Amino acid sequence: MSDQTNYNYPQGNPYMKPKKNKTAFWVIFFVLILIVTNLITYFLPRYFPVFSGNSIVINANDEIAVKNINKMLYIYEQLKENYLWELDEEKLWEYAIKGMFEGTGDVYSGYMTADEYSAYAESVSGSYYGIGVRIQNNEDGNVQVVGVFSGSPAEEAGLMSGDVIVSAGDVSLVGVSVDNAVTYIKGEEGTSVTLGVLRNGAELTLEVRRAKIETEYTSYKMLDNGIGYIRIIEFETNAYKQFSEAVTSLKDMGMKGLILDLRQNPGGSVDETIDIADDMLGKCDIIYTLDNKEQKQLYTSDASYTVDVPIVVLIDENSASASEILAVALQDNNAATIVGTVSYGKGIMQTLHPLNDGSMYKYTFCEYYGPNGTKIHGVGVTPDIVVEQSAEYANYSIESIPEGADVQLNKAIEVITQKISD
């Protein structure tokens, strides 16, 4: 038997015996591939987000997300099937996304639809149709007027700095972010909007017509005795360019000292602000930021600067965000004297992320500090010299205060005059 076996399958036969081993090899190989594939399929979505085109597969390990997405989809299907009236399905999802951001409790984070984002982008472009106010969210999360443009429809209707806008038409603005509020306040030229306003506890209703608003973010003039005055209304598009042009003009007029007015300035672009700080400081640190992983990003100024005269900066309780970046950078570097009242205290930055459909979301991603570690968020910048505005003009826009009656500006003139003479 064994001889016969050896005869039929002789040792070293290149055709018969290896065939059995080769078949076994491929069987084992394909089994291993199947096992590895199954393991990847099981573990990858549990620990890493998986993308498919513009979609994302939720981490199976994220139990909260899986549970609530399933719940939301279930409720969505129930509404589609059983709700009495016709549904706007796009609006359902828009509000679902908005609700997620509202759940953060952060009025500076949020989602905008394509229409809302378009209106927002227009409002910071320098020209738009609206009523001519600067607004920000106050500490209660409501929409507060921090400035009224001179000669604007808002000024004509009687809106004042400090007013809280609680409604626009039939839409409540209580707790609504500024970015969303502007989409209800703005509108076509010649139309009107009815605003519900709270002023010192009293409820007012103001009818305000809409008009084309041309925004100059920087204005300047030469005061007596070679004192240059620059007012920055917001740090939006071209603010740095306009500031540079103002400095050049004032230097040509013989500027000996500069008053930089940041009162009622709600902030704006950090990049524009950093560029302005760079022009006012020599080689030094401007600010630094910390994110949720304690990673630090440092913003610095180079050795060259264009503002080489004594500086006084005016701030008030409505100077926020980017205004506070500039004020604290100058104060911590002993480059200016700060006059006025404690600023608003918004020391956090947001990052904006436009989406393919024209919508946008933004969220707070870091907190910023003065170069000496000075905290701003929830604290504000404390002036070197505290001066309260007179009660008579406390709610006036800066531009509307009669010449000579602005006690904060008068103090700034006094301080800069002394600095020039030293």
Other beta carbons less than 10 A from residue 376's beta carbon? 24
Cα atoms in the 13 Å half-sphere on the side-chain side of 39: 6
Residue type, 249: S
DSSP 378-404: TT-PPPSEE-PPPGGGTTS-GGGSPTT
**Length of the chain (residues):** 422
3-state helix, strand and coil shares in percent for the chain, rounded to the nearest 5: 35, 25, 35
Which residue, among 301, 375, 382, has the nearest Cα to 343 in the 3D structure?
A: 382
Tokens of 137: 């969210």
- Of 332, 343, 397, 411, which one is the catalytic site residue? 332
- Do β-strands 337-340 and 284-290 pair in parallel, antiparallel, or remain unpaired? unpaired
Tokens of 102: 């509202």
Per-residue burial over 92-110, b if 16 or more Cβ lie within 10 Å, else e, is eebeeebeebbeeeebbbb
- The answer to whether the CB of 168 falls within 8 A of the CB of 220 is no
- Of 98, 186, 346, 411, which one is the catalytic site residue? 346
- Of 123, 152, 321, 397, which one is the catalytic site residue? 321
Annotated catalytic residue 332: yes
CA angle 346, 351, 353 (to 5 degrees): 145
CA gap 308, 313 in Å, rounded: 15
CA gap 332, 281 in Å, rounded: 11
Annotated catalytic residue 170: no
Annotated catalytic residue 109: no
Three-class secondary structure of residue 39 per DSSP: helix
| CA dihedral (396, 402, 407, 408) positive or negative | positive
Three-class secondary structure of residue 240 per DSSP: helix
Catalytic residues, which ones? 321, 332, 346
